[in-house]
Amino acid sequence: MSKLIKLFLFSTLLALASSVSTESAKETSLGKLTYPAVQGKRCVINDTMEMRKNHMNYITHQRAETTRLGKRWNKKTHKNNFSIEKCINCHARDEKGKPVKLKLGSGKLNAEHFCQSCHNYTAVTIDCFSCHSATPTGKVKIISKSKKKSK
Amino acid sequence: MKKVRYLELEGKSASFNFLAALFAGMAALGAWAFFHLEHSGHADTGMNNQIVWGLPHVFAIMLIVAASGALNLASIGTVFNKGLYKPLARISAWLSISLLMGGVIVLVLDLGNPFHIDYMFTSFNETSIFAWNILLYPGFFLFTGIYLWTMMDTSKRNYYKSAGTAAFIWRLILTSGTGLIFGLLVGRIGFNAAIMAPMFIVVSFSVGLAFFIITLMATYKWSNRPLGCVLLKRLKNLLVIFIAAAFYFAVIFHLTKYYSMASQDLESWLLFGDSVHTKLLWIGQVVIGTLIPLALLLIPRVGECNTAIFSAAVLVIIGTFCQFFVTIIGTQAFPQQVIGSDYQVIASKFGDADPYHVYSPSSWEVMLGLGGLGLTFLMVLYGFKIMRFLPESLADKDLDPHAKSA
Amino acid sequence: MSELNENQQTTTNRRTFLKAGVATASMGLIPGVNLIGLSQAAITDGSAASDKQRWGMLIDTNKCESGCTACVDACNKEFNIKPSKKPSQTVQFIRKVTVRHKLTKVETSLPLMCQHCENPPCVDVCPTGASMKRADGIVKVDMHRCIGCRYCMMACPYKARSFIHEEVTEQMAYAPRGKGSVDSCNLCVHRIDENRENPRNPACVDACNSKGHKAMIFGDINDLKSNLNKALKKHQSRELRSELGLNTGVRYRGI
């Protein structure tokens, strides 16, 4: 229950903040959200608010599909888009496209890292990156517009 | 038949405070070890990819097995209508709950990812005896708790017998389950045996009773309550039978394993090798855990009502600890047959060709185990202080040795 | 062994059906996909692994050179496995062992890893279903569910599994792994899933081939046209610890 309230408050805050802030400056009252430096204009689903609210559901669903059934991200059909590897690939970069590390030298978590930026603020701790690599490795892939349809 | 009066411990004496501090200290050590291992990972333990289960498991399994055995006296009173034991039933039930709590905590805190434990319930694997065990533990708390309640709340008297019977059946299943954690390991010649289940039950009788005797005698001595010789002599006779039975099962177990060519290498190494396990088996399990206690209990002159029984019980616990150490760790320490019986591994980077795998536990593991023990006795102590578990007197004159249950 | 929920199971079937129609057909079903992909090898359509396939291996011990550890090294590189401070805690997916026949005293060298049993004891004993067998026969650990109890390691007849004792850093993005879980060979599932019609070999097999030993054949046992299927039919092979009746997916020749 308290989770829901937190989420709600947080979402409205963010919505307000981002409507005020200009397109280029992604500086919000919550700290810096580093968006991918890709030409890609949007996330894996074309709905930033939905992503903001429900990204955890998408990725936890995806992780079961991938791990248990073997459904993996597919370049051509864009099925199973919610691979954590891909999130990192787009998101864990600074404006110049250079990788952003999740852990600072001191072992502290880096608030500049996309996934950590809000989590820091909302005091969410996730253990995903004790196993998953948090730094992008591959090249940034752009999702073509024609086939995406947000539900 | 006289009515038994139950009274809480006053809990103000110096000895009470000393014990409380001691047990709390042990529990704190356990907590410290847990947080340390949670942070550093199991790298700081002596466990490795060969000795997969180590000292924490020995502690945990012993406490869990003892838990179900400690309930025995209550069961004898309730299910088998032995009136003499009825005043002991509350102590017995509470001790068993505490022991199980201590054991399960150690088991859980040793997990690599204790915070994933919810999957145990959300994605239950019905072919896993371990998963079943995890259900059996809460069940034991539940049944024994209800049983204890029917003992204490006279308005629930009607359910007393059925609750006691249910708890008794549950504990037999529980200990079979504990034994089968090992017995069902089909790939491991040293473990895979049906006798594991009954053997664990019999061991639970002896070590559970030993824990009970220690608790009982220490509590009554320190709280200056009378504890009669008749009762102790009965307990002594029971202990003799249980020690002998546990030994019998151990002999049969090792004999059959030795007889089979498939496990003879392992057994002859265990029984006649030069490792610490051989010593623990002969000196710990046989001499300290079986022969000396039997002598203490059976030789009439020594076997009087106090020190001898108490020391025998302590030795039984040590012996059982050694037994579990050898059963759990010793069996893992001998290289597994990985190819087939027609081949012998002569070289491997993964220890398959070692004479045996060495296990040197770190102090963290010891602390984790002691933590479980400390928690158990802390619960026992405060249970006795808060609740009316202890009869005011267990002196001979206040007990009716021939009483049949009402 | 609870899998996923109902509706995911039904999609599995549909996907399996799609799969049978070869990638061309399935790709045609999706509007807006250009045809560039067709000239390349078919890629998985994002579908679930199918029980029509079963991945496995045949290892010819006659060709396996004693002293050569190319497969082990390649595996460690693929998953970025580094030696632990205590050697006995080092994770191993694959190891080289030398065995001697008790009767003939002939010595043989062979690689030993997860045998990908049809009836894996590690899956039977796992309390949470983290130790799992995929529809296509790959036995692996779902680390999200793994509580780190190590019971699967107790159950494995081959000692094919390792516990991750220490914190892991610099994981490969395609192969997450971390402290407190059990880990083991998964036949390089990330490679297989790239293209289940014509998968890349696991890292160990690739390494063995490029060394020129060609001791390991990987493939789909059920596929009558696969090299593995043909080799298994042609040559006598054995399963390790056959008395346990596990029907392993990895078979050995020459021992």
- Would you say C217 and C202 are in contact if contact means Cβ atoms under 8 Å apart? no
Q: Largest Cα–Cα distance of chain B, in whole Å?
A: 72
Mean pLDDT of chain C: 84
- Find the mean pLDDT for residues C142-157: 95
Distance CA B107, CA B369 (A): 9
Q: Does B353 reach chain C within 8 Å, measured CB to CB?
A: yes
Mutate to test the interface with C, among A62, A71, A91 (most CBs of C within 10 A): A71
Kindly report which listed range (B243-247, B290-294, B390-394, C99-103) carries the lowest average pLDDT score.
B390-394
Question: DSSP alpha helices (H): ranges in B159-195?
Answer: 160-183
Per-residue pLDDT tens over the stretch C213-232 = 999 999 999 999 999 999 99
Cβ distance of A74 and C12 shorter than 8 Å: no
Q: Mean pLDDT: which of A36-40, A72-76, B205-209, B307-311 is highest?
A: B205-209
Predicted confidence (pLDDT) at residue C116 exceeds the cutoff of 90: yes
Predicted confidence at residue B382, as pLDDT, reads 95
- How confident is residue C25, by pLDDT bands cut at 50, 70 and 90? very low
Interface of A with C (CB under 8 A): 63-65, 67-77, 79-80, 85, 88-89, 130-133, 136-138, 146-147
pLDDT of B63 over the 90 cut: yes
Chain B: nearest CA to C31, how far in angstroms?
A: 37
* C9, C44, C52, C192, best to mutate vs chain A, most A CBs in 10 Å: C44
Exposed/middle/buried for B39, CB within 10 Å: 0-12, 13-18, 19+? exposed
pLDDT band at residue A123, thresholds of 50, 70 and 90?
confident
Give the residue on C whose Cα is nearest the Cα of A73. C46
Give Cα A90 distance to the centre of its chain. 8
Residue C19: per-residue pLDDT = 36
Contacts C193 to A, Cβ<8 Å: 70, 72
B125 has a chain C CB within 8 A of its CB: yes
When CB atoms are compared, the residue of B42, B338, B340 closest to C112 is B338
- Look at A131 and C168 and tell me if their CB atoms are within 8 Å: yes
pLDDT in tens, C82-104: 999 999 999 999 999 999 999 99
Cβ distance of B43 and C165 shorter than 8 Å: yes
Q: Is the pLDDT of residue B376 over 70?
A: yes
Domain boundaries, chain B: 6-239+360-399
Check whether A40 has a pLDDT greater than 50.
yes
pLDDT of residue C33: 31
Interface residue of C6, C33, C188 to substitute, partner A, most A CBs within 10 Å: C33
Lowest mean pLDDT among B215-219, B225-229, B267-271, B356-360: B225-229
C-chain CB neighbours of A75 within 8 Å are: 37, 43
Residue A108 confidence (pLDDT): 81
Q: Give the per-residue pLDDT at C248.
A: 96
Selecting from B119, B129, B342 the residue whose C-beta is nearest the C-beta of C147 gives B119
pLDDT at B75 over 60: yes
**Which residue is associated with the tokens 């009965």?**
B234
Whether pLDDT at A75 is above 80:
no
- Per the model's pLDDT, the better-predicted residue between C26 and C126 turns out to be C126
Q: What's the mean pLDDT in B103-107? A: 96
- Give the mean pLDDT of chain B: 92
pLDDT, tens digit (0-9, with 9 covering 90-100), for B308-361: 999 999 999 999 999 999 999 999 999 999 999 899 999 998 989 899 999 999
CB contacts of C99 in chain B (<8 Å) are 339, 343-346
Nearest residue on chain C to B45, alpha-carbon basis: C165
Domains and CATH numbers, chain C: 2-253 (3.30.70.20)
Chains with 3 or more CB pairs under 8 A to chain B: C
Q: Do A68 and C142 touch (CB under 8 A)?
A: yes
pLDDT confidence bin for C45, thresholds 50/70/90 = low
Query: What distance in Å separates residue A103's CA from the closest CA in chain C?
Result: 11
Residue scoring higher pLDDT (B395 or B290): B290
Q: Would you state the pLDDT for residue B364?
A: 96
Q: Are B405 and B76 in contact (CB under 8 A)?
A: no
Q: Is the pLDDT of residue A111 over 60?
A: yes
For residue C186, the chain A residue with the least C-alpha distance is A67
The pLDDT value given to residue B11: 82
Say if the Cβ atoms of C147 and B185 lie within 8 Å: no
A76: confidence class by pLDDT, cuts 50, 70, 90: low
Question: Does pLDDT of A74 surpass 60?
Answer: yes
In this predicted structure, what is the pLDDT of residue A124? 86
Measure in Å the smallest separation between the Cα of B167 and chain C Cα atoms: 24
Q: Which of C45, C134, C176 sits opposite A74 (nearest CB)?
A: C45
Q: What distance in Å separates the CA atoms of residue C91 and residue C152, rounded to the nearest whole number?
A: 15
As given in the structure block, the two tokens for residue B178 are 């504990």
Q: Of A43-57, B107-121, C233-247, where does the model show the most confidence?
A: C233-247
Give me the pLDDT at residue B196, please: 96
pLDDT of residue B122: 83
pLDDT value of position A38? 55
- Of B24-38, B146-160, B267-281, C236-250, minimum mean pLDDT range: B146-160
What global pTM score does this model have?
0.88
Model ipTM value = 0.92
| From the candidate CATH numbers 1.20.1630, 1.10.10, 3.30.390, 2.60.40, the one assigned to the domain spanning B6-239+360-399 | 1.20.1630
Q: Which residue, among C117, C124, C110, C190, has the nearest Cα to C152 in the 3D structure?
A: C124
Query: By mean pLDDT, which of A121-125, B259-263, B364-368 is the weakest?
Result: A121-125
Mutate to test the interface with A, among C3, C14, C27, C30 (most CBs of A within 10 A): C30
Tell me the chain C residues in contact with residue A64 when contact means C-beta distances shorter than 8 Å: 4, 8, 144
pLDDT above 90 covers a percentage of chain C that reads: 74
A64 closest CB neighbour out of C4, C15, C174: C4
Extract the runs of DSSP E, i.e. beta strands, from C18-156: 55-60, 94-101, 107-113, 131-133, 139-141
Supply C179's token pair: 């402290």
DSSP string over B18-87: HHHHHHHHHHHHHHHHHHHHHHH-GGGSS--SSS-S-HHHHHHHHHHHHHHHHTHHHHHHHTS-BGGGGG
CB < 8 Å from B in window 145-164 of C: 145-151, 153-159, 161-164
The region of weakest confidence among B54-58, B334-338, C6-10 is C6-10
Predicted confidence (pLDDT) at residue A15 exceeds the cutoff of 80 = no
pLDDT for B281 beyond 50: yes
Q: Does C115 touch chain B (CB under 8 A)?
A: no
Residue B130 forms contact with C (CB below 8 Å): yes
Across B33-54, average pLDDT: 94
* Residue among A111, A114, A109, A104 at smallest CA distance from A127: A109
Which chains, if any, share at least 3 CB pairs under 8 A with chain A?
C
Question: What is the average pLDDT across B198-203?
Answer: 97
Instruction: Decide: C136 and C49 in contact? Cβ < 8 Å.
Output: yes
Q: Would the pLDDT of B192 be above 70?
A: yes
Contact at CB, A72 and C44, closer than 8 angstroms: yes
- The whole-number pLDDT of residue B240 equals 96
Chain C neighbors of A71, CB-CB under 8 A? 15, 46-48
Q: Does the pLDDT at position A146 exceed 50?
A: no
Model pLDDT, residue C118: 96
Q: Please report residues of B whose CB lies closer than 8 A to that of C72.
A: 349
Rounded average pLDDT over A122-133: 89
CA distance B200 to B188: 18
**Beta pairing partners, A99:** A93
Confidence of residue A36 (pLDDT cuts 50, 70, 90): low
Q: What is the structure's pLDDT at A102?
A: 86
pLDDT of A71 > 90? The answer is no
Q: pLDDT tens for residues B238-265?
A: 999 999 999 999 999 999 999 999 999 9
The more confident residue out of B40 and B176 is B176
- B139 closest CA partner among B92, B104, B88: B104
- Whether C136 and A70 lie within 8 Å, measured CB to CB: yes
Identify whether the C-beta of residue C103 lies closer than 8 Å to the C-beta of residue C79. Answer: no
**pLDDT at site B299:** 87
Closest approach of chain B CAs to the CA of C170, in angstroms?
Answer: 17
**Does the beta carbon of C82 lie under 8 angstroms from any beta carbon of chain B?**
no
Residues C144, A73: C-beta atoms closer than 8 Å: no
Q: Is C124 in the B-facing interface, judged by CB distances under 8 Å?
A: yes
pLDDT in tens, A84-106: 888 888 888 777 777 888 888 77
Question: Can you give the pLDDT at residue A104?
Answer: 80
| pLDDT at res. C170 | 86
Provide the pLDDT confidence category of residue B398 given band limits of 50, 70 and 90: confident
Q: C250-253 and C55-60: which strand pairing?
A: parallel
Residue A29 has pLDDT above 60, yes or no: no
